[in-house]
């Protein structure tokens, strides 16, 4: 433009007086003046344009923070990622309702060559592959001696099938995660998690010196590790260290340290001097909250920040115990009597995160309380032990909370004989029934109750009482309906397989000295075990749900058996009901498969027997032939040193016979004088 202005001055033309827009040039005529585009093309100076998102990266798994911590987190992220190049733009999105970040940010670099080169995607181990087993079998893990072994439960073949075996795989014990995705091993240096269906690749290591205990969160997102250490000063108590790890990244999300006394306040002494687990997870499988009991407080933490909920603990004077609902963020809290009974005991239901008290019930003359949540979180049963007026004896009653109903109604009920000792209580999983063992050993009674009646009146009704059973433990089938009444410890392994729908005993059995009873996650099979706490008969047995023994395995120094948990069913309740109603139609296919397996097993046995018979006959024919071939040699006198051959000896061999002959018999009477003796 400057060149044009100079040219106009030389020609004496005033450009300001000319309407340039009114000038029309002939078509395709540029008068030697290049356009800006043509000038750029002619000079070959093309600008570098950034097209797409190749110079932008997303950073995930960041802490979720409030606005006051935004700048600090941005500073940390910029410092860590500036080493790859200059960051020209930073953005961390925020939730407009919660006013907190989403846990991610976007970084824009000056060029696409700046961000780190992406590695090609390599698929990892399929951690759910074992659920696709064509035979629909379940897995279990055992520890015996120095070996840890994973097996398929192959009930059709009436034997376990080894999947994986490793010596010195753990220093103490192993533990499946709640959904069966991982197997954790415990070591002095820390914990490790493994995954797979047959290879069990190591997925992550968690460093924690002198590790003793571990615990998974219900949704498997976090792993809690525990250790205790002797004090240098004998006047002090043991020092406790707790870490909460992210299972996927191995990062420590929060650590806790203190004396044993700090972690046993208000709780009963459990393993290694502490109640375990110290942290109790709540709110279902989303792993949003965990809590622990303290002196006059319940400390509830949220996993978004791993800090105290609302930055303060829930104050509950003289709190003795609490328990989470299995499905909802609701805590049941027990507070015993105070001031010699002038202040009654109480059980409260508290909603989290608002800490709102949903229901409270005062209880008088209370000795102790035990709280039992039903698996679906629909009911809470509170067993209340009360003093009589004389304070010399105790009787028991129950308070039933209907959590899902309006205003959470409470129903009080007692046994027919409220003086009976309560030995065991257990809810039916996914059902509306419960069982109680009550009375005195060695033959207490077992009663079954329902919280639903046919008329839907909403009251507890007794269904049946069976008298005089040698049982002290109840084990409901995971799908309900069936229950094992077990006599462990002093009852020496008595087992009764009971159908609660029909109120009939399907089978009785005995596993001598049994220490454990465990249903598989499908409710088809049961394992009973004698661990090394007993000096004899170590091993396990597998039973069908109706009490038929499938197989038995003996193992020396056997100390652990665990079924591998399964993921929740993907079927809707309606679909499950439809399958149950049409079970005969669905079962035809599997009955035929079972018959085919039985035929195959029978054929295998026949083939094996035939093989043994052929091997025996072949061996016999071989030696007969050799005997015949050597017969000419055996008949030669020279080979026998001038003696007769074996055949000649047989021919000429005499038989010696001893003959006793009675010559005569004389009877004589002899006088016998007793005085001589």
Q: pLDDT tens digit string along 382-411?
A: 999 999 888 888 999 999 999 999 999 999
Report the alpha-carbon distance of residue 398 to residue 411 in Å, rounded: 8
Residue 99 has pLDDT above 70, yes or no: yes
Residue 385, CB-side half-sphere exposure with 13 Å CA sphere: 14
Strands 105-109 and 87-91: what pairing? antiparallel
Cα 485–Cα 486–Cα 491 angle in degrees, nearest 5: 135
In the predicted model, is pLDDT for residue 542 greater than 90? yes
Q: Please report the pLDDT score of residue 673 as a whole number.
A: 43
Instruction: Say if residue 589's pLDDT is above 80.
Output: no
Q: Which carries the bigger pLDDT value, residue 269 or residue 157? A: 157
Compare 73 and 579 and report the one with higher pLDDT.
Answer: 73
Q: How far apart are CA 134 and CA 219, in angstroms?
A: 26
Question: What angle do the packed helices 583-629 and 573-581 form, to 10 degrees?
Answer: 60
CA distance 589 to 586: 7
**pLDDT band per the 50, 70, 90 thresholds, residue 342:** confident
Q: Is residue 127 helix, strand or coil?
A: coil
Q: Say if residue 562's pLDDT is above 50.
A: yes
Cβ pair 205, 192 in contact under 8 A: yes
Which residue would you say has higher pLDDT here, 501 or 392?
501
Measured torsion, CA atoms of residues 620, 623, 626, 631, in degrees rounded to the nearest 10: -100
pLDDT greater than 60 at residue 611: yes
Name the one residue in this structure whose structure tokens are 């897995």. Answer: 139
Is pLDDT at 352 greater than 90 in this prediction? yes
42-57: per-residue pLDDT in tens? 665 555 555 577 888 9
- Number of alpha helices (DSSP H) and beta strands (DSSP E) in the chain: 8, 42
Q: Which residues lie across from 473 on neighbouring strands? A: 486
Give the model's pLDDT for residue 464. Answer: 96
Q: Contact at 8 Å (CB) between 537 and 512?
A: yes
pLDDT of the residue at 162: 97
| Residue labelled with tokens 């193992």 | 555
**Selection from 284, 279, 282 nearest residue 253 by Cα:** 279
Given 3-state DSSP classes, what are the helix, strand and coil percentages for the chain, each rounded to the nearest 5? Answer: 20, 35, 45
For position 666, what pLDDT does the model report? Answer: 59
CB atoms within 10 A of CB 487: 21
In this predicted structure, the answer to whether residue 96 has a pLDDT above a threshold of 80 is yes
pLDDT more than 70, % of the chain: 84
Return d(Cα 144, Cα 559) in angstroms, integer.
Answer: 6
- The residues with which 505 forms a beta bridge, in sequence order, are 498
Query: Per-residue pLDDT for 644 more than 80?
Result: no
Cβ-count burial of 444 within 10 angstroms (0-12 exposed, 13-18 middle, 19+ buried)? buried
Q: What is the mean pLDDT of residues 663-677?
A: 47
Buried b (16+ CB within 10 A) or exposed e, 119-155: eeeeeeeebeebeeeeeebbbbbbbbeeebbbbbbbb
Least trusted range by pLDDT, from 271-280, 291-300, 373-382, 461-470: 271-280
What are the structure tokens assigned to 464, written together?
């049946």
Residue 267 has pLDDT above 60, yes or no: no
Residue 618 CA to residue 442 CA, distance in Å, equals 60
């Amino acid at each position: 433009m400057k060149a044009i202005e100079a040219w106009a001055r030389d020609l004496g033309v005033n450009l300001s007086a000319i309407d340039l827009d009114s000038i029309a040039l002939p078509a395709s005529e540029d008068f030697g003046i290049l356009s800006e585009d043509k000038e750029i093309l002619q000079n070959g100076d093309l600008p570098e344009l950034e097209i797409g998102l190749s110079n932008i990266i997303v950073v995930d798994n960041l802490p979720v923070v409030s606005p006051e911590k935004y700048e600090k987190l941005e500073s940390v992220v910029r410092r860590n990622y500036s080493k790859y190049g200059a960051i020209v733009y930073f953005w961390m999105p925020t939730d407009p309702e919660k006013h907190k970040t989403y846990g991610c940010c976007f970084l824009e670099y000056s060029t696409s060559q700046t961000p780190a080169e992406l590695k090609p995607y390599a698929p990892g181990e399929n951690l759910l592959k074992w659920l696709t087993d064509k035979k629909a079998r379940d897995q279990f893990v055992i520890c015996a001696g120095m070996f840890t072994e994973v097996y398929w439960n192959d009930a059709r073949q009436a034997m376990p099938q080894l999947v994986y075996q490793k010596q010195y795989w753990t220093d103490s014990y192993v533990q499946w995660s709640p959904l069966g995705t991982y197997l954790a091993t415990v070591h002095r240096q820390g914990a490790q998690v493994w995954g797979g269906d047959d290879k069990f690749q190591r997925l992550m290591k968690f460093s924690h010196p002198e590790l003793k205990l571990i615990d998974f969160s219900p949704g498997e997102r976090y792993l809690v590790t525990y250790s205790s250490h002797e004090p240098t000063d004998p006047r002090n108590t043991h020092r406790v260290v707790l870490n909460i790890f992210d299972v996927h990244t191995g990062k420590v999300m929060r650590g806790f340290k203190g004396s044993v006394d700090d972690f046993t306040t208000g709780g009963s002494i459990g393993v290694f001097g502490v109640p375990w687990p110290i942290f109790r997870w709540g709110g279902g499988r989303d792993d949003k909250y965990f809590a622990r009991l303290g002196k006059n407080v319940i400390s509830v933490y949220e996993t978004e920040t791993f800090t105290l909920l609302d930055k303060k603990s829930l104050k509950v004077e003289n709190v003795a115990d609490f328990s989470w609902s299995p499905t909802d963020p609701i805590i049941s809290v027990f507070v015993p009597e105070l001031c010699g009974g002038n202040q009654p005991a109480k059980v409260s239901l508290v909603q989290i995160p608002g800490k709102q008290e949903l229901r409270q019930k005062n209880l008088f003359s209370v000795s102790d309380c035990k709280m039992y949540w039903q698996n679906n979180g629909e009911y809470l049963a509170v067993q209340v032990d009360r003093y009589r007026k004389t304070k010399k004896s105790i009787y028991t009653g129950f308070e039933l909370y209907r959590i899902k109903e309006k205003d959470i109604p409470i129903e009080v009920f007692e046994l027919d004989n409220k003086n009976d000792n309560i030995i065991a209580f257990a809810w039916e999983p996914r059902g509306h029934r419960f069982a109680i063992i009550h009375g005195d050993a060695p033959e207490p009674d077992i009663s079954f109750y329902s919280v639903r009646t046919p008329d839907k009146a909403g009251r507890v009704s007794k269904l049946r009482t069976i008298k005089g059973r040698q049982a002290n433990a109840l084990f409901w089938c995971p799908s309900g309906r069936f229950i094992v009444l077990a006599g462990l410890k002093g009852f020496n392994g008595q087992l009764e397989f009971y159908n609660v729908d029909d109120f009939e005993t399907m089978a009785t059995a005995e596993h001598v000295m049994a220490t454990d009873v465990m249903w598989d996650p499908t409710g088809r099979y049961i394992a009973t075990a004698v661990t090394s706490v007993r000096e004899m008969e170590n091993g396990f047995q597998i039973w069908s749900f109706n009490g038929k023994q499938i197989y038995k395995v003996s193992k020396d120094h056997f100390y652990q058996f665990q079924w591998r948990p399964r993921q929740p069913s993907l079927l809707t309740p309606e679909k499950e009901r439809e399958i149950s109603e049409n079970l005969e139609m669905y079962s035809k296919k599997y009955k035929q498969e079972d018959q085919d397996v039985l035929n195959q097993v029978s054929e295998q046995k026949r083939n094996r027997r035939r093989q043994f018979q052929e091997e025996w006959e072949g061996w016999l024919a071989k030696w007969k032939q050799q005997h015949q071939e050597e017969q000419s040699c055996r008949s030669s006198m020279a080979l026998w040193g001038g003696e007769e051959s074996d055949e000649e000896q047989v021919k000429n061999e005499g038989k010696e016979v001893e003959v006793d002959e009675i010559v005569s018999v004389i009877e004589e009477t002899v006088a016998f004088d007793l005085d001589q003796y």
